[in-house]
Structure 1
Amino acid sequence: MPYKYKGVSLFTGAGGMDVGFEKAGIQVVWANEIDKDACATFKENHRESFLREGDISHYINELNDLKNIDILFGGPPCQGFSVAGKMDPEDIRSQLIWTFIEAIERLKPQVFVMENVKALGTLEKWKDVRESILKRTSSMGYTCFPFLLNSSHYGVPQKRERVFFIGFLEKKIEYEKMMLRLKQLMEKPTSIRETLAPLGPANTERNPLTCTAKITLASNPIMRKSPYAGMIFNGMGRPLDIDHYANTLPASMGGNKTPIVDEELLYGNAINDWVVEYHSALLNGKIDSKFQQVPNRLRRITIKEAALLQTFPEDYVFKGSKSAIYRQIGNAVPCKLAEIVAKLVISELENEPIIRNQNIDVGQVTFEDFLLI
């Protein structure tokens, strides 16, 4: 496709953001990633992009030689800020956001987009960090706003909440106007069933069986109101409600933390949901012979299925071991969400008029409906 803008991608991973930005019309001319498996994946799928493999500190001086870069984007490692981690401000991974800020200073792009976990955008613990990001980028001439977006509001079959720091160089940006653009771009997510069913059953040509981690009943179930929450099976992999969207896919997939799907509900002719029935039996204390073990119809999602739930193209090729591939998928920004963000910044750059989405009355949608404060 013809590209209108030039972009630089940092902390690139497997290239989820790159897929979305390229679809929006941004040519990735220079990228950097340290993980060797993710690098192999990126090079396989983005053959026209120049990739520097290794620690960004070894190559950051090269950014001084890149001219006329329109957009810098990327997601510095987030484990230091994540509520799923130790939330250690001294974690070396936390410091990489400042490397991204340094890259902004060297490149001086028209726009930058820095993605990270929800906690960085919401928790009081990280207030000083947020304020430092805004202060430093403002001193460089940027107007920057943090946006907290839920991918399921933008057509992604997965609830994934992320903060995006978006800054424009020497351009007056109206926050309310950007909010309206985001509302206009909202889209109902496809269901898990709609997303995965075209692949066909696991262990077939389009859907190779990958995760073989056994599913067993939890000896001490942790119950929740929903059968798709809590912990009624071994491990952290919860069952998916195939007629809705998934919860956030973790980078720790590949073993018993991989989500569970009911093959017969998804691809067969089953009319009953075994997970719902088992959950009900647990609540009522009526565990009969039907619920003594997990039926074969329940299995972990495959690599292909995980990638589609992250909105990677079906023909996207992943490199590395099974665990490395699941990690790349779980670490990625959903491609479709990245495309939405790219379209947002391009529409602002080009001062496009705001066109109301026919399916959404923006006058009735509040800021909190899509920006998770």
Structure 2
Amino acid sequence: MKAISLFTGAGGMDVGFQNAGFDVVWANDFDKDACGTYRLNYGDHIRHGSIDDLMPELKELGQTGGISCLFGGPPCQGFSVAGKMDAQDPRSKLVWSYMQAVSLVRPAAFVMENVKSLATLDKFRAIREGFIKEAIKLGYNVDLMVLNSKEFGIPQGRERMFLVGFRDRPNHFRDLIDSQRCSPPRLRDVLLDVGKIGSPQNNRICKAKITAAAKPILRRSPYAGMLFNGQGRPLNLEGHASTLPASMGGNRTPIIDDEALYGNQTPWIEEYHAHLMSGGEPIDWKSVPGRLRRMSVDEAIAIQTFPRDYKFAGSQSSVFKQIGNAVPCMLAESVARVVFELLSESPSAVKKRCKISKELQLELT
């Protein structure tokens, strides 16, 4: 099945969709380094530039026909709680460019990814309802879901919206996506599998310093609150990571305790947190022990479930940005497998599924 990738970035969704069986024949991104990364891993079928300038190519692809799926995540900064949440941000308008691409290509199915807030907040209701109505007008049966990557085998809590549409056939995406859910591995195991920091397979080190906050903001968990300057928080090795931001590379890069990771010692942050909770004074801002460091590029790649041999173009800050902006590959694959399965169903199987679905609805009522 042929597919088109929009707002491709480093290709996180493409990894997942290709693993699920799709053949991505055309891709696009505005970021030069991201396009360079894509070419290193997939070839020259990515177009660098504004999607709005490339609509003639998409129209031609639509006229040629045979595109099974169009997928991608328009820039989310205008909708993200980590940004200004400005619906008038020029990047926010690219959801409409996405829908224009759908109207030109007319794929059998489409998948649009974005941040959770676009799917849930009242301030974005008009936008969300607007593009759903547009999709229905184009002949698509649509469903909107929020999925959390940690429920799909990924060691990272990352909630994302997925708008999935099927043209001229029932949409049973919601019925099948649960079959893809699985527990994530411990973060400790993922990081140990990458290799020790400084080793040949884990040598892209983030050198941003770690300093203690003079006035820590405490929470019940030592892995929450603000115990360090900047927004980089320590990682709970027995759990999963929080959402990896595109702003990694500086003081927003997550923090790892090497003695806890490699030596199984009690995490320093837990001892320091207990000290503060019992009324102890904060340490001097320069007195953070050397056992603490920032997450490396290679560790971020593993947490986002990119293939370990995936190549990235650009400076280290650009690579961190590309990794943080990506959809976790395994989450994309879970979504893509369901879409592929539904597109592969014969007409008789579709009728049977519809009959079962109606019977279940009758039982519930």
Q: How big is the shift at 1:97?
A: 0.4
Residue 82 of structure 1: aligned partner? 80
Q: State the distance in 1 between where 2:167 and 2:110 align.
A: 9
Give 2:294's aligned amino acid: R
Higher helix proportion (structure 1 or 2): 2
TM-score in terms of structure 1 length: 0.89
Q: In the TM superposition, what whole-angstrom CA distance separates every residue of 1:324-364 from its partner, at most 9, and x where no partner exists?
A: 110000000000000000011112223498xxxxxxxxxxx
Residue 111 of structure 1: aligned partner? 109
1:334 aligns with 2:328: yes
Are 1:10 and 1:74, in contact at CA under 8 Å, matched by a contact in 2?
yes
SS in 2 for 1:95: helix
Are 2:6 and 2:29, in contact at CA under 8 Å, matched by a contact in 1?
yes
Aligned counterpart for 2:158 among listed residues 157, 160, 185: 160
1:192 aligns with 2:187: yes
Q: In the TM superposition, what whole-angstrom CA distance separates every residue of 1:150-201 from its partner, at most 9, and x where no partner exists?
A: 0000001000000000000010224xxx333122111001111111102222
Residue 126 of structure 2: aligned partner? 128
Residue 269 of structure 2: aligned partner? 275
Residue 7 of structure 1: aligned partner? 3
- Equivalent residues in 2 for 1:208-357 (5 A)? 208-267=203-262, 269-287=263-281, 293-351=287-345
Please, what is the CA RMSD of the aligned residues?
1.9
Are 2:211 and 2:285, in contact at CA under 8 Å, matched by a contact in 1?
no
Q: How big is the shift at 1:85?
A: 1.4
SS in 2 for 1:327: helix
**Number of residues paired by the alignment?**
346
Q: How big is the shift at 1:290?
A: 11
1:29 aligns with 2:25: yes
Q: State the distance in 1 between where 2:286 and 2:106 align.
A: 62
Are 1:143 and 1:167, in contact at CA under 8 Å, matched by a contact in 2?
yes
Are 1:278 and 1:291, in contact at CA under 8 Å, matched by a contact in 2?
no
Q: State the distance in 2 between where 1:286 and 1:58 align.
A: 59
1:142 aligns with 2:140: yes
Are 1:150 and 1:160, in contact at CA under 8 Å, matched by a contact in 2?
yes
Q: 1:277 to 1:137 in 2, by over 3 A?
A: same
TM-score in terms of structure 2 length: 0.91
Q: State the distance in 1 between where 2:22 and 2:164 align.
A: 16
1:59 aligns with 2:54: yes
Give 2:59's aligned amino acid: N
Q: State the distance in 1 between where 2:284 and 2:118 align.
A: 46
Residue 171 of structure 1: aligned partner? 169
Residue 183 of structure 1: aligned partner? 178
Q: State the distance in 1 between where 2:249 and 2:140 align.
A: 41
Q: State the distance in 2 between where 1:308 and 1:262 align.
A: 17
SS in 1 for 2:92: coil
Residue 91 of structure 1: aligned partner? 89
Q: State the distance in 1 between where 2:285 and 2:323 align.
A: 33
Unaligned runs of 5+ in 2: 350-365
Q: How big is the shift at 1:23?
A: 0.3
Are 1:72 and 1:113, in contact at CA under 8 Å, matched by a contact in 2?
yes
Are 2:276 and 2:282, in contact at CA under 8 Å, matched by a contact in 1?
no
Give 2:111's aligned amino acid: V
Unaligned runs of 5+ in 1: 354-373
